[in-house]
Amino acid sequence: MAEGDSRDGRRGWIPPPAEKLTDDLLVEILWRVPYKSLCRSKCVSRRWRRVISHPDHRHLLPRYHLGDAIVGFFYSDTFTNVTGEGRPFVDPSLPFLPKCEFLNVLDSCNGLLLCRCWRLADPRRFDYLVVNPATEQWVILPDSGWSDKVQTARLGFDPVVSSSHFHVFEFVEDGAGDADGNVDDDDDFDGHVKGVEIYSSVTGEWSHKDNGWDWEIRIRDEWNSVFFDGVLHLITLEYVVAAVDVEGNAWRTIPMPQSLVEPFDGIGEGFIGLSQGSLYFVNTDHDEPYKVSVWVLEDYSSEQWIWKHTVSHLHLFRTKRLLFGHDYKVVSIHPEGNIIFLVLPHSKILMSYEMESREVCFICGIGGSSDWLLYLPYVPLYSESLADGH
């Protein structure tokens, strides 16, 4: 081997040009790189990953650290980058999927999407698809038996537990409508959950479980959910967080903070998120309706929410009289930091708020003018993540 080809430290080895750059010079170059390319630059080498991810570079690479994991949001048939710049990180039409009459993105969980694909041959029925936009893999699920009913469906996927298997929860709701919103005449239309169909990619089958909560629970399709430690958590109209595990055997309700006096009546049902390994709850307070408060469930086995932070509407929005869930929505919380993301649907603004510094950042304009829209945060997953996927 020639001396110049040796990499064992002997004299004559010439390092790649980029390796001659100091960390400061590398950051100076990288801050000019588009967001998507910046994320991919972490794969160049361990050093580049360390430089890009280092907390000391937070203010030098704000586009990356603002959405450390979250690259944007799906809503309706649109995608908006969390940086507010450039072309959409993901084409929201997902053109690599099979053709269908209409496509709905229902949920996003750790890099995978749950979609409802209305059939071309029978547009009153649909199929569920689980999709990885980053790798353009997808799996079509077998019929659950409810393919003519529009019901709340959620995705459960944890790449730490398994990089290839997932679960889908389809809640059987009283008064569920068809493609046109029509309901059966014998339904009493109160919308409570009667049971759940759970699909496991391990077995490739659906299983049915009757409602195991202690009371009748009502959920809404436009409210977010959290999949954590094999359990799906949902916001409800009954002022509790309702939870069910992937086997449909463990059912639990967790009272919302101060929910025994229904502090959120007429204000909004709140937001739940997962950050730093704990469940978070965000809403306004009955006694202080023009402030946003954040609680954390530090001990998951308990029902004790710990107050973490409060910020006024005036500080966030420069105005006071806004209603949570109507004039603004919390749409995500940073998975590893103290940042919450909010949308003002009528003003069409996406913004972030950092709790420690109390810094408000107006990111960009965002489409959609309805408070009924579900904004789904998206985290790309570049590994081969779907068993038997296309």
Tens digits of residue pLDDT in 102-127: 999 999 999 999 999 999 988 889 99
Predicted local distance difference test score (pLDDT) of residue 23: 84
Q: Is residue 343 part of a domain?
A: no
Q: Total structural domains in the chain?
A: 1
d(CA 163, CA 161): 7
Could you read off the pLDDT of 136-149 as tens digits, one per residue? Answer: 999 999 999 988 88
d(CA 180, CA 123): 11
Q: Which domain holds residue 26?
A: 17-55
Predicted local distance difference test score (pLDDT) of residue 253: 94
Q: What is the pTM of this model?
A: 0.79
Q: Is residue 32 part of a domain?
A: yes
Angle between helices 46-53 and 23-30 (to 10 degrees): 70
Q: Which residues contact 82 (CB under 8 A, 6 or more apart)?
A: 66, 67, 70, 71, 72, 73, 341, 350, 363
Q: Is residue 355 part of a domain?
A: no
d(CA 46, CA 53): 11
Sheet holding 240-245, edge to edge: 225-228, 231-235, 240-245, 251-255
Q: Is residue 202 part of a domain?
A: no
- CA neighbor of 93 nearest in space, from 126, 117, 120, 123: 117
d(CA 53, CA 111): 19
d(CA 290, CA 313): 6
Could you read off the pLDDT of 231-288 as tens digits, one per residue? Answer: 999 999 888 899 999 999 999 999 888 644 454 444 567 899 999 889 999 998 777 7
> For residue 26, what is the enclosing H or E element?
helix 23-30
Q: Is residue 33 part of a domain?
A: yes
**Joined tokens for residue 311:** 């910020």
Predicted local distance difference test score (pLDDT) of residue 5: 42
Max CA distance (Å), the chain: 85
Predicted local distance difference test score (pLDDT) of residue 195: 94
Asked if residue 308 has pLDDT above 70, the reply is yes
The string of DSSP codes covering 100-167 is: -SEEEEEEEETTEEEEEEE-SS-TT-EEEEEEETTTTEEEEPPP-S-TTSB--EEEE--TTT-SS--E
The Cβ-side half-sphere exposure at 217, using a 13 Å CA radius, reads: 29
Over the range 354-387, which residues count as b (16 or more CB within 10 Å of their CB) and which as e?
A: ebeeeeeeebeebebeebebbbbbbbbbeeebbe
**Joined tokens for residue 66:** 């603002």
Predicted local distance difference test score (pLDDT) of residue 13: 44
Give the pLDDT band (50/70/90) at residue 6.
very low
- CA neighbor of 115 nearest in space, from 380, 376, 384: 376
Q: Is residue 40 part of a domain?
A: yes
Predicted local distance difference test score (pLDDT) of residue 315: 96
- CA neighbor of 234 nearest in space, from 269, 262, 263, 261: 269
- CA neighbor of 340 nearest in space, from 311, 372, 306: 311
Least confident range from 18-22, 196-200, 246-250, 304-308: namely: 18-22
